[in-house]
Amino acid sequence: MNPAGERTGATGSGGRRSRQSTGQFGDLGLYLADPALEASVLALLDDVEVELRASVASADPFVTEAARHLLEAGGKRFRPLLVALGAQFGDPTAGPVVPAAVVMELTHLATLYHDDVMDEAAVRRGAPSANSRWTNSVAILVGDYLFARAADLAADLGTEAVRLQARTFARLVHGQIAETVGPRPGDDPVRHYLQVIAGKTGSLIATSARFGAMFGGAAPEHIEALAGYGETIGVAFQLSDDLLDIASESVQSGKTPGTDLREGVPTLPVLYARAGDDSDAASVRLREILAAGAVTDDALHAEALGLLRESPALKRARETVRSYAEDARASLAPLPHNPARRALESLCDFVADRTS
């Protein structure tokens, strides 16, 4: 589960990715209105790109090829972006900031290798997944290798960095286990789902913002504010992806609309629809279709998708996304009013509005 919007770009010399200065960071809706801020962030991300390629290199050419597989497929580098923005509240040129961003992105990439095995995915970022190109065993081991490289780099940043990276990894694993096992008898499915997202997605984005502020030398209260922002905006982004999978008529969500519904993934609108007590015919019919889990029949799938798009459940899910986006904005209150804060606020606006 990862925020939507894949970044693409030509790769220049030394592994740097060329980026056009547009004031808008890809599809993330992050508006970098200040030229100095934009230059700082883009320069840092270019350095991260170079270090990422170097950090996954191995004496074994096959390991290097497999470890660079998803790295070279692209990606939006959302977590390094949060590191870069968090560092703006201190000194973004501080030496540990780039390695900290690399640690976060390597940890994220490792989870993608493992996720594709668990999901039996054939494609990732428009390229064959590692498990389909090689085997599940290779994909799992490469993910382990990337985790190990992240831990190695974190060790150079100090004991606190190692502890935070390990605790973040533990939360990621807890979130994945909770998703795999599902809610226990008596658990609220919606609450369980939100906890899964906080663990699997929010935790790493929170630590990314924390690392940027921490290694940039920001004040303690600013570090905590940015960590809280990161977790909340991460959850909001994933929830908005859930809505796009239903509401979008295009591939704005990065996949064919209704994919989660076809695969039986119980996203927030579906959970709200299942739990609803609306007695109108459309809501009753929707609950009947969703009761079976995966909706693979084309006619039923089209019917369910149409009903969901007009349902009170989708409206309620939109309100939940907006609530998380506003909570993320509120987390920024202790921060100074500078271009970096305004950029982070613009992301709240984007998340709140992208599914309206």
**Cα(296)–Cα(275) distance, rounded to whole angstroms?**
21
How many helices (H) and strands (E) the chain has is answered by: 16, 4
Of 222, 204, 217, 224, nearest in space to 92 by CA: 217
The domain covering 221-348 belongs, at the CATH homologous superfamily level, to: Farnesyl Diphosphate Synthase (1.10.600.10)
Per-residue pLDDT of the chain (356 residues; tens, 9 = 90+): 444 333 333 333 334 344 444 445 656 777 888 899 999 999 999 999 999 999 988 888 988 888 888 777 777 889 999 999 999 999 999 999 999 999 999 999 998 887 777 766 666 666 777 777 788 888 889 889 999 999 999 999 999 999 999 999 999 999 999 999 999 999 999 999 999 999 999 999 999 999 999 999 999 999 999 999 999 999 999 999 889 888 876 544 455 778 888 888 889 999 999 987 778 889 899 999 998 888 888 899 999 999 999 999 999 999 999 999 999 999 999 999 999 999 999 999 998 888 77
> How many Å apart are CA 74 and CA 88, to the nearest integer?
25
Question: Where in the chain are all domains bearing CATH 1.10.600.10?
Answer: 34-218, 221-348
Task: Name 143's Cβ contacts closer than 8 Å, sequence gap at least 6.
Answer: 110, 111, 112, 113, 114, 117
Instruction: Indicate the burial class of 5 (C-beta count within 10 angstroms; 0-12, 13-18, 19 or more).
Output: buried
Degrees, nearest 5: CA angle 39-41-46: 95
Q: Cβ distance 341 to 222 under 8 Å?
A: no
Q: What CATH number does the domain located at 34-218 have?
A: 1.10.600.10
Note the pLDDT of residue 121: 67
Phi and psi of 11, rounded to 5°? -95, 125
In the numeric block, the tokens 């270090």 are attached to 51
